[in-house]
A = this chain, B = another copy of it.
């Protein structure tokens, strides 16, 4: 039995990935028992869909969903797991706001697991949802 991962453990793992660190993703909460994690990302001009609009492009939202889902299962596996596939649904434009992805493991099986991810804006509105299948062994 190993110790449950803490916010700083997971943040260190995120920061070990040049892509994730470059996006500025931050762990803002986790529940190691419930296999839930919250990851935030702040708007930057380079994430804009069109210049000067303040609207997020879908690409960084999908990356946030994939990452939050992965690290929810990392709470189970002890480290990041391979993404097998994920679905992203965009529900509302996200404009002039940071984003928080809350990921919750629905099932962690022997070889694969399923995670649901909700993305909300600063006003708590749901802007996108994700659902992903991941391996359940870190590596």
Contacts and interface: CB of A to CB of B under 8 A. Distances in A.
A62 interface: yes
A62 to B, nearest CB: 4
A62 B88 contact: yes
Contacts of A86: 62, 87-88
Interface string A114-132: 1010000000001001010
Interface in A63-104: 63, 66-67, 82-92
Number of copies of this kind of chain in the complex? 4
Interface stretch (A3-11, A28-36, A45-53): A45-53
> Size range of the interface on A?
35 or more
Contacts of A82: 90
Contacts of A50: 16-18
Nearest to A113: B91
List the 4 closest pairs (A to B, CB-CB), nearest first. Answer: A59-B63, A19-B57, A85-B89, A91-B107
